[in-house]
């Protein structure tokens, strides 16, 4: 049976492994062109053993400008960028492909100041923008545009192209009855709805010739069974589209289910990988099929191959976190496999469809997207000139990453912290978020392999001098994390009793004794709008509490939109009967009672419960030293997310 590290034939080419680094948004482009940052990023994954590298989707026509940094694929100016990436990727044996697309009605007119193009004037779900219905002449224009863009890819030295007929694609919008309500030759039956995509595929094949690779990216399920493509009809569509293709890659999701295309912690790893098996069976091995669907663990990918459910597997987020995944897996040793940095599916830095226009990154791998930066050159080439004894105070992600990097640079390191794993361990206790614990697991494992001692002990300003003397430390790194802060601008009565998410998720809250059949009530006062409050509410419900979440924001869980978790959270909240009360200004907290007002009408509102959880902002823990020049990292500087803690810990370790 095939394995991850085996070669595989794609058309006339041979891929060195069966792992695919699929097309995804990076926001790396400068003036909408591929640049050196792309080169370093893609080369790192090819060097690490990826068999197929598909570049970020380029738009094939000026009518499509879906986001500020969307690369242009319709001008000759794209060729030099293609050539630089192709040379870097192909020298490691990987197959390099362009991804050609047009987002149609799922785009934005913000940048182009022109109407969106789509099969039918159905509003875009998020912006509610109504697109222009494409005329036959517009369809013909895009067919020619796809072919022209494909020629530029071949001129740039790439091995071929993948045509996007999946998520965020005008071709999928034509293919799906969910978005195609036309009455002409491009609407109605499946054959008619597929006509546009088939014309594009035929034109591209003619343009690039028979030897270049041509793949088709299809949707296996739109998760909209009332009108959209379901696995059975998606397989029929794939069979039509595969006629002139060398491979079919399978994704999922649609206008109502973007959150399922690159699902986060709310969906199980491999949640939609089985869709490839349905399409593979329909195609009867006519062409190789790529599986996709949050496959981030090599053993799961291996199983998909050995069970015959796919011929190749997309492991994009896994390769963002660990570029050397394939190379490390290929060695076959337990030690090498253990060193693979795991993707935790958090969607915090690798999903960049946000208003901030952030560049892609990874909470686990600070070098992701910054491979060409001097500060991330291999640690083996950056040994310390003078070896020091280093004491790291704090055993969270910042402290452990600082210790790991400092040790690899040649320093002698000891870590002392009250909680091994830090706040990550607490966050991982929330329902569905256990995978976050892999962040701490990996760092702890790396330190153990490096022989770094991690002592669990509470360090205070009074005990620190003795600790420094005991370990004869030349330098102390302060990575002591953050602590909850009392809510501002709210009256607290003398008998007010509140707990924090750390108390709840840390198992420090006990249910009160109530009459049989009566569930205790809990109020989650959510000032943060993120996973802290939402996870705490779910934990309480799962442990027998009736829960109401109260927020000042327009809607509860506002910050979950950045990681595409708001929709699945609302689905779970409804199923668990969590009450959501947005737009409430809290004015007074007492013993078992919260008083507030509606932020608009100013009408008074009162809530009563046996437990009040105050989810307020956190602040750095009180410093262990008055030295303004103390070396600090992570939440000890300013409470943020895991990625910033690891990045700053990494930098601190390199700075010694």
* Range 526-542 average pLDDT: 94
pLDDT of residue 480: 93
pLDDT value at 627 more than 80: no
385-483+620-655: CATH number: 3.40.50.720
pLDDT band at 294 (very low <50, low <70, confident <90, very high): very high
pLDDT of residue 613: 96
pLDDT of residue 348: 93
Place of tokens 């699929």: 22
pLDDT value at 76 more than 90: yes
pLDDT of residue 488: 76
Question: Minimum mean pLDDT among 39-53, 187-201, 372-386: which range?
Answer: 372-386
* Range 210-228 average pLDDT: 96
pLDDT band at 517 (very low <50, low <70, confident <90, very high): confident
* Range 143-170 average pLDDT: 98
Facing residues of 596 across strands? 586, 605
Question: Minimum mean pLDDT among 289-298, 508-517, 605-614: which range?
Answer: 508-517
Q: Count Cα atoms within 13 angstroms, Cβ side, for 502.
A: 12
Read off the DSSP letter of residue 621. Answer: P
Q: How many CB atoms sit inside 10 A of residue 89's CB? A: 28
CB of 108 within 8 A of CB of 65?
yes
**Token digits of residue 38:** 């792309």
Question: Minimum mean pLDDT among 195-199, 347-351, 486-490, 538-542: which range?
Answer: 486-490
In CATH terms, 8-374 corresponds, of 3.30.342.10, 3.40.50.850, 3.10.20.310, 3.20.20.70, to: 3.20.20.70
Task: Name the nearest CA neighbour of 463 among 511, 393, 365.
Answer: 393
Place of tokens 């892999």: 438
pLDDT band at 591 (very low <50, low <70, confident <90, very high): very high
491-616: CATH number: 3.50.50.60
Strand order in the sheet with 491-492: 491-492, 584-590, 593-598, 604-608
Higher model confidence: residue 327 or residue 483? 327
pLDDT band at 405 (very low <50, low <70, confident <90, very high): very high
pLDDT of residue 535: 95
pLDDT value at 628 more than 80: no
pLDDT of residue 513: 86
pLDDT of residue 485: 83
What is the percent of the chain where pLDDT is above 70?
100
List C-alpha distances in Å: 626 to 417, 649, 653. Answer: 19, 21, 22
pLDDT value at 625 more than 80: no
pLDDT value at 84 more than 80: yes
CB of 340 within 8 A of CB of 329?
yes
Rg (CA), the chain: 27
Place of tokens 């080419």: 13
* Average pLDDT score over the chain: 95
pLDDT value at 603 more than 90: yes
Domain ranges of the chain: 8-374, 385-483+620-655, 491-616
Tell whether pTM > 0.85.
yes
Taking the C-alpha atoms of residue 641 and residue 645, their distance in angstroms, rounded to an integer, is 7
Taking the C-alpha atoms of residue 392 and residue 593, their distance in angstroms, rounded to an integer, is 42
Per residue, the 3-state secondary structure of 412-424, as one string, reads EEEEEECCCCCHH
CB of 473 within 8 A of CB of 390?
yes
pLDDT digits (tens, 9 = 90+) for 428-481: 999 999 999 999 999 999 999 999 989 999 999 899 999 999 999 999 999 999
Q: How are the residues of the chain apportioned to helix, strand and coil, as percentages rounded to the nearest 5?
A: 35, 20, 50
Taking the C-alpha atoms of residue 274 and residue 262, their distance in angstroms, rounded to an integer, is 15
């Amino acid at each position: 049976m095939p394995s991850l590290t085996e070669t595989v034939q794609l058309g006339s080419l041979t891929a060195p492994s069966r792992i695919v680094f699929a097309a995804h948004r990076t926001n790396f482009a400068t003036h909408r062109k591929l640049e050196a940052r792309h080169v370093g990023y893609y080369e790192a994954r090819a060097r690490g053993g990826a068999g197929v590298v598909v570049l970020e989707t380029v738009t094939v026509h000026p009518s499509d400008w879906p986001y500020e940094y969307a690369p242009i694929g319709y001008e000759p100016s794209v060729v030099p960028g293609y050539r630089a990436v192709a040379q870097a990727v192909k020298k490691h044996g990987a197959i390099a492909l362009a991804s050609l697309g047009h987002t149609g009605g799922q785009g934005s007119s913000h940048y182009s100041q022109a109407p969106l193009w789509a099969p039918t004037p159905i509003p875009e779900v998020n912006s509610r923008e109504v697109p222009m219905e494409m005329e036959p002449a517009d369809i013909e224009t895009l067919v020619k545009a796809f072919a022209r863009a494909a020629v530029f890819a071949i001129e740039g030295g790439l091995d071929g192209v993948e045509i996007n007929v999946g998520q965020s694609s005008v071709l999928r919008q034509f293919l799906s009855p969910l978005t195609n309500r036309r009455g002409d030759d491009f609407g109605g039956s499946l054959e008619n709805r597929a006509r546009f995509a088939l014309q594009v595929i035929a034109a591209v094949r003619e343009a690039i010739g028979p030897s270049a690779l041509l793949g088709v990216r299809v949707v296996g399920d739109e998760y909209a069974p009332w009108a959209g493509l379901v696995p059975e009809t998606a397989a029929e569509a794939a069979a039509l589209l595969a006629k002139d293709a060398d491979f079919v890659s399978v994704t999922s999701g649609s206008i109502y289910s973007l959150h399922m295309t690159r699902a986060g912690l709310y969906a199980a790893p491999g949640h939609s990988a089985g869709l490839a098996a349905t399409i593979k069976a329909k195609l009867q091995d006519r062409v190789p099929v790529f599986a996709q669907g949050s496959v981030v663990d090599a053993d799961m990918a291996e199983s998909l191959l050995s069970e015959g459910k796919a011929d190749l597997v997309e492991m994009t987020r896994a390769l963002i976190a660990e570029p050397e995944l394939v190379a490390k897996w290929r060695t076959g040793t337990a030690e090498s496999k253990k060193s693979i940095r795991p993707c935790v599916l958090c969607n915090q830095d690798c999903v960049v469809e946000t208003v901030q226009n952030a560049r892609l990154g990874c909470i686990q791998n600070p070098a992701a997207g910054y491979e060409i930066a001097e500060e991330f050159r291999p640690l083996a080439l950056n040994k310390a000139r003078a070896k020091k004894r280093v004491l790291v105070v704090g055993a969270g992600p910042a402290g452990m990453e600082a210790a790991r990097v400092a040790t690899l640079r040649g320093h002698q390191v000891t870590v002392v912290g009250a909680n091994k794993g830090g706040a990550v361990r607490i966050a991982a206790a929330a329902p569905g978020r256990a995978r976050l614990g892999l962040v701490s697991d990996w760092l702890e494992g790396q330190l153990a392999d490096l022989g770094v001692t991690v002592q669990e002990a509470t360090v205070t300003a009074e005990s620190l001098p003795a600790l420094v003397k005991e370990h004869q430390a030349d330098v102390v790194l302060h990575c002591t994390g953050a602590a909850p802060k009392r809510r501002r601008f709210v009256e607290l009565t003398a008998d007010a009793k509140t707990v924090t998410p750390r108390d709840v998720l840390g198992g420090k809250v006990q249910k009160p004794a109530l009459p049989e059949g009566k569930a205790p009530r809990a109020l989650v006062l959510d000032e943060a709008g993120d996973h802290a409050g939402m996870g705490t509410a779910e934990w309480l419900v799962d442990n027998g509490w009736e829960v109401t979440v109260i927020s000042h924001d327009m809607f509860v869980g506002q910050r979950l939109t950045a990681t595409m978790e708001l929709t699945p959270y609302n689905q779970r909240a409804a199923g668990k009967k969590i009450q959501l009360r947005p737009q409430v200004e809290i004015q007074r907290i007492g013993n078992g009672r919260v008083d507030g007002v509606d932020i608009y009408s100013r009408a008074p509102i009162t809530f009563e419960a046996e437990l009040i959880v105050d989810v307020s902002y956190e602040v750095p823990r009180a410093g262990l030293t008055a030295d303004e020049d103390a070396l600090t990292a992570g939440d000890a500087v300013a409470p943020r997310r895991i990625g910033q803690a690891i990045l700053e810990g990494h930098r601190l370790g390199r700075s010694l």
